[in-house]
Amino acid sequence: MQLEQQEWMHRLRLALAFWVIAASACSEQRPQAPIQSMHDGRPNIVLLMAEDLGPRIGVLGDPIAQTPRLDQFAEEGTRFTEAFATSGVCGPSRAAIVTGIHQNRWGAGHMRAAAGGYVPAPAPYVKAFPEILRASGYQTFNDGKTDYQLGLRLGGAFGGPKSLWDDDRARGWANRDTTRPFFAFINLGQTHESQIWPTWQFPNSVLTWALWPLRIINHWSWPIVTPADEVKVPPYYPDTRTVREDIARHYNNIASLDVAVGKILDQLEQEGLAKNTIVIFTADHGDGFPRAKRWLYDSGLHVPLLIHWPGVTRPGTISDQLISLIDLAPTILSMAKVPPPPWMEGKIFVGPHENLDERPYIFAARDRIDQQPDTVRAVRGERFKYIRHYYPDRPYVLPSEFRDQMPLMRELIDLSASNQVEGVQALWFRKQRDQEELFDTLSDPHEILNLAEDPMQASQVREMRQALDQWLEEEEDLGLLPEQRLRDRFFPNGEQPITPTPTIDLLNHRVSIGSKTEGASIEFRVNRGPWRLYTAPFEVQSGGHIEARAQRYGWAGSEIAETQN
């Protein structure tokens, strides 16, 4: 999204320091400025990210959800009621979150890219915000999955560039250096789609075998059991026992999530960190149910967003500003007093550098899901949502082995096959799609009544159609290209490029490390110590053993260079 001129000027004034910190350490370039080594009054930041969760939190108006800790947390800070993901599925959404750029801009829109035979490589100047934090002196910890479309491990759900993290298999912030601020990205899987399946549902693949023990443990520790008779069934589902039981299990999982969040908040208090730690709670996209996850309806995009920033957010405040999850990257950098780079598409939405200009729209995209090609784009304002289908001759419901294991989905498929769904419940099972959809999310929150052909809404359709066209024209949308073009672009000759080994120059105990690969991130370590992000030449004592490695995003990592002082 194009930033307003005021925002651009603000970014450009602040970004001079960023370009020194975040530019790749190439041998032909000047060395980067040294990182800050002390707190310098900067806060710790903890990002709690649930999986597959819409705004089903008590304080956000859900009467069924049992979330006392999240409710209390929200009352102590600010809750943002209109926050939306850029995709209804984890990989593409997380790719946008960590870069601050819509995933379809840099080839990360297909789920999963690795299944398409490539790893997307963003422009050389793009760095994930955890790496920018790390370059500025923060310790960065990741607890759980990564799934930024930048790795190949387990289909891309894990792995990726090592330069983002001081520890990518951390348990919170346990190994922190107390002289430096930390950023911890903690992933919470209690509400993942797979946790809605019955406890003893037998696995049918390697992945579901891996998830089964997690589901057993999660279900065993449910703090409550939600009565199936009490849940609300969306109008696009039939009101059956199977549907109600799956929805009830989701609420049980939400209660487990709430307990997990409470333990993290308690740990911050017990360790004396709460007063200097910003805590953000959100989700990677909306609910894990059919017609929610993987889709661009609000059920798949609308997420909770709660922030407690000691001394900044006022207790109990509510904001209805329109927020996209691409806003997290520049906002978190601003929280850390690090200037967001101008290429980030998101805006700062809280804090002293908040961009007060109201945005008219946010955008979302759906591309290939598993093995099913698709292209859908959406634009949402405060009230209306416009969706464009590029394959209107295809049915809405396409096969998805993972999704189809949910009892609710299996029942929907069976009922549709026997012509037992009708009315609004049959809309999703049509053999062809509406090429354009327009929904009034205020009067029709479940997005059932398509107004695109309503003459009374012709001007609204025209306005949002133009807004989407303008967004698509601003920068290349790689999701609109045939995926073979992406494979050829990112994996020439069918192989992942390999980052060349970095060079180590040693002069009078001063070490300089460089790479001829534009955009490569470099790490080093001395005497087998921890790996550190290289930002500037450094001194090393006689006898020191120096190792260095480099990786360009989307490429394989280099071999390790070594030298002895």
pLDDT digits (tens, 9 = 90+) for 116-141: 999 999 999 999 999 999 999 999 99
37 has a pLDDT exceeding 90: no
Among 37-41, 58-62, 170-174, 251-255, which is the least confidently predicted range?
37-41
Q: How confident is the model at residue 39 (pLDDT cuts 50, 70, 90)?
A: low
**Cβ pair 434, 450 in contact under 8 A:** yes
> Is domain 366-494 in CATH 3.30.1120.10, yes or no?
yes
**pLDDT value at position 209?**
87
**Which is catalytic among the residues 23, 90, 150, 451?**
90
**pLDDT value at position 62?**
98
Looking at per-residue pLDDT, the higher value among 9 and 428 belongs to 428
26 has a pLDDT exceeding 90: no
The DSSP-derived string for 334-398 is HHTT-PPPTT------SSTT---SPPS-EEEEE--BTTB---EEEEE-SSEEEEEES-TTS-S--
Write the single-letter amino acid at 204. Answer: N
**pLDDT value at position 10?**
42
Looking at per-residue pLDDT, the higher value among 55 and 171 belongs to 55
* Mean per-residue pLDDT, 274-300: 98
Looking at per-residue pLDDT, the higher value among 421 and 475 belongs to 421
Using only C-alpha atoms, the chain has a radius of gyration, in whole angstroms, of 24
26 as an active site residue: the answer is: no
**pLDDT value at position 156?**
76
Q: What is the CB neighbour count within 10 angstroms for residue 496?
A: 16
Extents of the domains making up the chain: 366-494, 503-564
50 has a pLDDT exceeding 50: yes
**pLDDT value at position 9?**
44
Q: What is the pLDDT of residues 494-523, one digit of tens each?
A: 999 999 999 999 999 999 999 999 999 999
Looking at per-residue pLDDT, the higher value among 174 and 37 belongs to 174
Q: How confident is the model at residue 217 (pLDDT cuts 50, 70, 90)?
A: very high
How is residue 177 written in tokens?
A: 């250096």
**pLDDT value at position 32?**
38
How is residue 387 written in tokens?
A: 């969706």
**pLDDT value at position 354?**
93
Report yes or no on whether pTM surpasses 0.75.
yes
Domain 503-564 -> CATH class: mainly beta
SS3 63: coil
* Mean per-residue pLDDT, 285-296: 98
Q: What is the pLDDT of residues 296-349, one digit of tens each?
A: 999 999 999 999 999 999 999 999 999 999 999 999 999 999 999 999 999 999
In whole angstroms, what is the distance from residue 130 CA to residue 328 CA?
11
184 has a pLDDT exceeding 60: yes
From the list 39, 27, 34, the residue with the least C-alpha distance to 534 is 34
Compute the mean pLDDT over every residue in the chain, rounded to the nearest whole number. 92
From the list 449, 341, 432, 354, the residue with the least C-alpha distance to 395 is 432
**565 HSE (CA, 13 A, CB side):** 20
